[in-house]
Amino acid sequence: MAPPLLLLGDIHVRFGATQLLAGADLQLGAQERLALVGRNGSGKSTLLRIAAGLIEADRGSRFAQPGATIRYLGQEPSLAGFSTVEDYVTDGLAPGDDVTRAFSLMGKLGLSTEQVPEQLSGGEARRAALVRVLAADPDILLLDEPTNHLDLAAIEWLEAHLRNCRSALVLISHDRRFLQTLSRATLWLDRGTTRRLDQGFAAFEDWRDRVLEEEELAQHKLTRKIAAEEHWMRYGVTARRKRNVRRVAELASLRESRRAAVQAVGSVRLEAVEASGSGSVIVDARHLSKTYDGRSVVKDVSLRILRRDRIGIIGRNGSGKTTLIRLLTKQITADGGEVRLGTSLAMAVLDQTRQDLDPNASLADVLTGGHGEHVAVGDQMRHVISYMQDFLFAPEQARQPVRVLSGGERARLLIARALARPSNFLVLDEPTNDLDLETLDLLEDMLASYPGTVLVVSHDRDFLDRVATATLVAEGDGRFTEYAGGYSDMLVQRGYGLSATAESPARPQKSAASKPRSVPARLSFKDKHALATLPDRIANLEREIAALQDELADGGLYARDSQRFSVASTALASLEAERDAAEERWLELELLREELEG
């Protein structure tokens, strides 16, 4: 067994007066899947660029196995200087690389070899950059926010591809579901140093919370003074992140109400707004249609949004999601159909272009409109300092100008402003872009307590599961279908995800003569036995995996006994594959059982 492919040791980086990295380490073995996590501005991208050999640390060591191929995907890849997508992609290939693999990947991601880079959308540019790094089939893939600008179909395709590739992976992403699916170990970068968890991201947040709780207790025991803003940044977030049982139960109740009240869009039975009582119906849309350049973007869509609904809209890029939102809110006029808005609506809109902020305005003035020291949040008045802390801004930032904020901080400020404006109807187009995981937690918490109605476009599956009471899926050709619940609920009802649309504009629809999926009348004895015994089998596998992970976590094992290191690594990979297969089989049987029972 070869030693680790990539090693970073005691990495130090200082930018001006800020010590960004102060002893960070990273170790990556063959075919390992490592999630690199940390707050915005903690130095994750810098550490990844050092790992890629693009920049040097002020102090520390970097070792890569001789001959190991490394490919790096940055957050903002540049296609400048290339005349076509083909030129850009093939420029990333080394002698001996399979060019047909590059063409195959371009086809799978819906790219034309002759497309001009300057004319690509953000999503198309991201796909081209992914093809460039994936086509080489490298030993190591370093991916910084690979799902940025991708729609759900492309994200699902990328997950499947990375799950089956041979490369070792280091992943930076704000997409929880993406990290949970792919990672097998987690490296937490916090305050300049790193801590490693030899489990995937699914186990990280609980582990992190325990570490911070122990750290807070130790700080109190030592009677050390912790600055108020640092205390909030580190410890307050984890306390708020813990799921509020009442709110989770309330979301389940809202989803059940939605499931009972609505049918598929296009066949919903409509009633007059006035019949439901003043303010109970927010939007009543009937047979909406909109065409651009002869292409149907929205076609015969009917939808009724009630007070307290949280409607998520998903679909591939360019499928009409933003157009539908603008039709439903009367920002544009439909070619056909009609929209009635409820009485006494106060709408707050956050569009995906993230409208400009006055760079010279202070944060407090942005939130208060320049008037007073308080902001209206729903029907409550909050002091601006207290409200800023909800979005991880320190008190001393209240008088700072917007121009000094980072991109992630600007995104947080825009969301805080949208939520601070007096409203009972929030319209959010891609609100989770550029947000770190802690801020996503806070946004979910704020939306859970918001007393009004929410309409949101998002590609973040975990976010939709935690927020949405119903999900609208853009099917293509202007058609939308509604499902009760969040993203996972949609998958159960629909029977498949959106990945089929990654390679083509839309999944082919079944014709009237299509043969329906065969469903057995009942579970077989073998299936029942598997359903009953698989959980115990999975638990046993988890214990065996944990034991091997503990053994391999010993940094000196390879030096002492390289043969044992090889045996343990091989056994770990085999057990993880067996566990994954068992989990997939149990999920398949559980979904079948629910379908038969319900």
Contacts of range 177-184, beta carbons closer than 8 Å, 24 or more positions apart: 177/460, 177/461, 177/462, 178/147, 179/35, 179/37, 182/33, 182/35, 183/33, 183/34, 183/35, 184/32, 184/33, 184/34, 184/576
Q: How far is 331 from 325, CA to CA, in rounded Å?
A: 8
The answer, yes or no, to whether residue 550 has pLDDT greater than 70, is: yes
pLDDT value, residue 273: 29
Q: How far is 151 from 460, CA to CA, in rounded Å?
A: 9
Strand 140-144 versus strand 168-172 pairing type: parallel
Q: How confident is the model at residue 546 (pLDDT cuts 50, 70, 90)?
A: confident
* pLDDT higher at 244 or 454: 454
pLDDT value, residue 363: 92
Tokens of 37: 């996590």
Claim to verify: residue 221 and residue 330 sit in the same structural domain: no
- The SS3 of residue 520 is coil
Claim to verify: residue 43 and residue 79 sit in the same structural domain: yes
Claim to verify: residue 86 and residue 131 sit in the same structural domain: yes
Claim to verify: residue 250 and residue 184 sit in the same structural domain: no
Q: What is the DSSP string of 17-61?
A: TEEEEEEEEEEE-TT-EEEEE--TTSSHHHHHHHHTTSS--SEEE
The answer, yes or no, to whether residue 276 has pLDDT greater than 60, is: no
Provide the residue type at 170 as one letter. Answer: V
* Interval 558-593: pLDDT, tens: 668 777 876 777 787 778 778 877 877 887 787 777
Beta bridge partners of 381: 376
Q: How confident is the model at residue 344 (pLDDT cuts 50, 70, 90)?
A: confident
Question: Nearest Cα to 480, choosing from 273, 287, 269?
Answer: 287
Q: 122-134 and 99-108 helices cross at what angle (nearest 10)?
A: 150
Claim to verify: residue 216 and residue 290 sit in the same structural domain: no
Angle at 520 between CA 514 and CA 521, to 5 degrees: 120
Total Cβ atoms within 10 A of residue 122 = 12
Q: Which of 296-310, 323-337, 338-352 has the lowest mean pLDDT?
A: 338-352
DSSP state of 166: -
Q: What is the DSSP string of 75-102?
A: SS---TT-SSHHHHHHHTPPTT--HHHH
Tokens of 166: 């041979």
pLDDT value, residue 553: 72
Question: Nearest Cα to 105, choosing from 142, 143, 158, 156?
Answer: 158
Claim to verify: residue 259 and residue 129 sit in the same structural domain: no
- The answer to whether position 415 is within a domain reads no
Half-sphere exposure at residue 24, Cβ-oriented, CA atoms within 13 angstroms: 32
- In this structure, are residues 420 and 387 in contact, taking their beta carbons and an 8 Å threshold? yes
Angle at 334 between CA 330 and CA 335, to 5 degrees: 165
List of residues 6+ apart from 567 with CB closer than 8 A: none
Claim to verify: residue 29 and residue 99 sit in the same structural domain: yes
pLDDT value, residue 511: 32
Q: Note the residue count of the chain.
A: 598
φ/ψ of residue 347, rounded to 5: -100, 135
Instruction: Identify the domain containing residue 546 by its residue range.
Output: 525-597
The answer, yes or no, to whether residue 174 has pLDDT greater than 50, is: yes
pLDDT value, residue 580: 75
Q: How confident is the model at residue 3 (pLDDT cuts 50, 70, 90)?
A: confident
- The answer to whether position 550 is within a domain reads yes
Percent of the chain at pLDDT exceeding 90: 38
Mean pLDDT for 409-426 is 82
- The answer to whether position 308 is within a domain reads yes
The answer, yes or no, to whether residue 332 has pLDDT greater than 90, is: yes
Q: How far is 288 from 292, CA to CA, in rounded Å?
A: 14
DSSP state of 203: G
- The answer to whether position 169 is within a domain reads yes
Q: How far is 125 from 150, CA to CA, in rounded Å?
A: 10
- The answer to whether position 378 is within a domain reads no
**Among residues 450, 478, 495, which one ends one of the domains?**
495
Mean pLDDT for 427-456 is 83
DSSP state of 531: H
The answer, yes or no, to whether residue 233 has pLDDT greater than 70, is: no
Claim to verify: residue 104 and residue 60 sit in the same structural domain: yes
- The answer to whether position 119 is within a domain reads yes
Claim to verify: residue 216 and residue 299 sit in the same structural domain: no
3-class secondary structure for 400-442?
A: CEHHHCCHHHHHHHHHHHHHHCCCCEEEEECCCCCCCHHHHHH
* Interval 7-50: pLDDT, tens: 999 999 998 878 999 999 999 999 999 999 998 778 999 999 99
- What's the CATH number where 532 sits? 1.10.287.380
Claim to verify: residue 56 and residue 134 sit in the same structural domain: yes
Mean residue pLDDT of the chain comes to 81
Claim to verify: residue 181 and residue 66 sit in the same structural domain: yes
Q: How far is 462 from 459, CA to CA, in rounded Å?
A: 9
The answer, yes or no, to whether residue 323 has pLDDT greater than 80, is: yes
List of residues 6+ apart from 520 with CB closer than 8 A: 592, 596
Provide the residue type at 68 as one letter. Answer: A
Q: How far is 203 from 186, CA to CA, in rounded Å?
A: 9
- The answer to whether position 400 is within a domain reads no
- In this structure, are residues 543 and 535 in contact, taking their beta carbons and an 8 Å threshold? no
The CA-atom distances, in angstroms, between 26 and each of 56, 148, 203, 448 are 15, 24, 19, 37
Question: Nearest Cα to 440, choosing from 457, 473, 462, 456?
Answer: 462
Q: In the chain, how many domains are there? A: 4
- In this structure, are residues 215 and 63 in contact, taking their beta carbons and an 8 Å threshold? no
Total Cβ atoms within 10 A of residue 476 = 21
- The answer to whether position 341 is within a domain reads yes
- What is the gyration radius of the CA atoms in the chain, in angstroms? 25
Q: How far is 150 from 555, CA to CA, in rounded Å?
A: 37
Q: How far is 383 from 372, CA to CA, in rounded Å?
A: 9
Total Cβ atoms within 10 A of residue 257 = 15
**Among residues 475, 495, 515, which one ends one of the domains?**
495
pLDDT value, residue 275: 30
Q: Which of 18-27, 179-188, 532-541 has the lowest mean pLDDT?
A: 532-541
* Interval 136-155: pLDDT, tens: 999 999 999 999 888 888 99
pLDDT value, residue 248: 62
pTM of the model: 0.71
Claim to verify: residue 219 and residue 262 sit in the same structural domain: no
* Interval 68-109: pLDDT, tens: 999 999 988 889 899 999 999 999 998 888 888 999 999 989
The answer, yes or no, to whether residue 434 has pLDDT greater than 90, is: no
**Among residues 202, 231, 255, which one ends one of the domains?**
202
Q: How far is 283 from 343, CA to CA, in rounded Å?
A: 10
